[in-house]
Amino acid sequence: MVFSTPFMLYFLYVIFYFQLRGLPTKANNKLFGRLGMLAMIGAVISLFFSFYVGCSLKANGYKTCPRKSWNAPTEYVRDMKLC
């Protein structure tokens, strides 16, 4: 999500700017493509980094607490009593 922020901000800026001015929508394809590529690369990097951190913590003796809901963050503890 963090890496896709420039992509989303540029897209929203283009839409709002041209809608407020009453002009037909046009975008700089070079910048739009680069920001899109940055968002995709960031998503892949964050996915692999997330798996690396989870595996690294489990290898160091941490355990995961059961989640209270499907969108609750994963909590890592050394002792299950801390859950």
Q: What share of the chain is helix, strand, coil (3-state, %, to 5)?
A: 60, 5, 35
Q: Give the pLDDT of residue 13.
A: 81
Question: Of 37, 29, 52, which is closest to residue 6 (Cα–Cα)?
Answer: 37
Start-to-end Cα distance in the chain: 28
Instruction: Report pLDDT digits (tens) over 25-48.
Output: 666 677 777 777 887 888 889 889
| Residue ranges of domains in the chain | 5-82
Q: Tokens in use for 15?
A: 């839409």
Task: Tell me how far CA of residue 7 lies from CA of 21, 39, 75, 79, in angstroms.
Answer: 22, 7, 30, 41
Instruction: Report pLDDT digits (tens) over 5-27.
Output: 777 777 778 778 777 877 776 66
Instruction: Report pLDDT digits (tens) over 51-79.
Output: 999 999 999 999 988 888 888 888 889 88
